[in-house]
Structure 1
């Protein structure tokens, strides 16, 4: 049996293993640089930028090599990876609005506290773009993670799994990829119990977000849809529910109501605002 025939007959197994390999390679690439410097040190960040850029070059090789011909009868590889001009404007703004609705509570806190005024300050943006930690959290991490875990992995999973199954399988690997923070917390002196609790919480949160991101990717058929949602979520972070109690009573009630209102509206609008028709998604991988 030739290697080509072996790959064709075992494409699902090989695609799954490729996704696992890319997951561990992505994480491993962050640690190939032997150093005692913290993850926020400029040297560490620059080295990791280089690592994830290499992973962004490697990942599509697997997608291009392993994507079956029958998959390409519906659309070309660029469509499966979420790159096309039609529907791009909608993909840039509608998922962002949808995600902002989910974060209506935290946004209300920002508005009441007045921190939103920072966004109108040119110096805020200038200093942010000069800050490597900000660039990592808002640009390189979302860009590289959505590229590897959504654009490159999801097409491979889709040729073997039902779309809804793929929505939850890929994000599980995405969540596992964030377990590397456990090692960093232990190195920085956190107790095992504390570090494990935080790592499990991060795994749960990133897996849930990964499912949402994968859902956006498949419903819209665009790379930029989950990317803008990822950037927005990274900027706001996980909602700080404890902070709500620092506000006066009436403001506190308004914030709590908006937390529930945002969740309700997000659930209500999720399907209509991700309708493939809005994004000219002819593949319609998840209906």
Structure 2
């Protein structure tokens, strides 16, 4: 008689060996089931936004209105609960996964603060250029140290949505629930990284409709281009978040990285840093319709050169440290590269 299996990691590895490695039997969850459930979770997340006047966008109610944000948070909380229960049921019934093992598959347990810290170091390296611009060139470092900027942002409903509730709910759906289904459906690591984030990107396409409702004067072509751009960068982040989840088996690492990336936004890829608008100069009404042309001051080209050097160095550092800083004993048992 074989020795008893101890711990969720050993249990899941045994399940992986039985159903996936060498594929002696059919996968625990069929690929079609994994795909259909992924679509269902996406629909459950998005559709409630349009079922109530309190959450539905209109020319009189934008998605940034506090009342709309509060109603959407309630809707998202309900959607997440329903999706978690459904995913747990499928894993338990189809994959024969125990309740404790499900917590491990969802990335809830064990909690590794070290893995999360290493993941955050990786994204800090990636955003070294923007951190240099905002913290050093623009002088925001003191506010960061004092926590002033964090308090101001999180004390607003928009900030709470963008940096707390949004990252938590989105990583829960598109990483914690969807990725384990694809692992048990015998998808490869690369397929999981480049396929599952597409559901995440598609979930943001509905913003095109919202944008058209609240900005009817913007040309359709421009609105579509904006939506495609959003789909692209959300999918790109999704690739990274899926990679982190597979490598660390820790959804909290993905949530922290998501919140940080939302806060940083897209890096500057052109233009000068440290440029500030000054007092208008020239005769009134010439350029700005108020007091003449605006005068701009700059800190000089040295700061700009330093920014782009740090930006490139950060990108290279991110590439070199991608695997070392996401190495973890809690990784899900999928192969991402051949040793």
1:11 aligns with 2:30: yes
Change (3 A) 1:265 1:122: closer
Q: State the Cα deviation string for residues 1-28 of structure 1 (Å, max 9, x = none).
A: xxxxxxx998321221010111122111
1:146 aligns with 2:174: no
Change (3 A) 1:216 1:244: farther
Q: Deviation of residue 78 (structure 1)?
A: 1.0
For the residues of structure 2 that align with 1:266 and 1:66, how far apart are their CA atoms? 36
Structure holding more helix per residue: 1
Map of 1:65 onto structure 2: 89
> Which of 119, 134, 138 does residue 113 from structure 1 map onto?
138
Q: Deviation of residue 244 (structure 1)?
A: 3.5
Higher RCO (CA 8 Å, separation ≥ 6 residues): 1
Q: State the Cα deviation string for residues 94-126 of structure 1 (Å, max 9, x = none).
A: 111100101111111112111232223455444
The worse-fitting range, judged by mean Cα deviation, of 32-41 and 176-185 is: 32-41
Change (3 A) 1:243 1:49: farther
The answer on whether the counterparts of 1:182 and 1:195 sit within 8 Å (CA) in structure 2 is yes
- Stretches of structure 1 that go unaligned for 5 or more consecutive residues are 1-7
When the two structures are superposed, what TM-score results if normalisation uses the length of structure 1?
A: 0.89
The worse-fitting range, judged by mean Cα deviation, of 118-127 and 158-167 is: 118-127
The worse-fitting range, judged by mean Cα deviation, of 181-190 and 37-46 is: 181-190
When the two structures are superposed, what TM-score results if normalisation uses the length of structure 2?
A: 0.76
Map of 1:82 onto structure 2: 107
The worse-fitting range, judged by mean Cα deviation, of 245-254 and 55-64 is: 245-254
> Which of 154, 158, 178 does residue 133 from structure 1 map onto?
158
State the aligned residue count. Answer: 275
RMSD of Structure 2 on Structure 1 (CA): 2.1
For the residues of structure 2 that align with 1:91 and 1:9, how far apart are their CA atoms? 28
The answer on whether the counterparts of 2:154 and 2:163 sit within 8 Å (CA) in structure 1 is no
> Which of 259, 268, 282 does residue 311 from structure 2 map onto?
259
The answer on whether the counterparts of 1:82 and 1:151 sit within 8 Å (CA) in structure 2 is yes
For the residues of structure 2 that align with 1:177 and 1:165, how far apart are their CA atoms? 19
For the residues of structure 2 that align with 1:10 and 1:124, how far apart are their CA atoms? 45
For the residues of structure 1 that align with 2:40 and 2:161, how far apart are their CA atoms? 23
Q: Describe how 1:223-242 pairs up with structure 2 within 5 A.
A: 223-242=251-270
**Which of the two has higher C-alpha Rg?**
2
Change (3 A) 1:163 1:191: same
Map of 1:21 onto structure 2: 40
For the residues of structure 2 that align with 1:71 and 1:261, how far apart are their CA atoms? 47
Map of 1:168 onto structure 2: 194
Map of 1:281 onto structure 2: 330
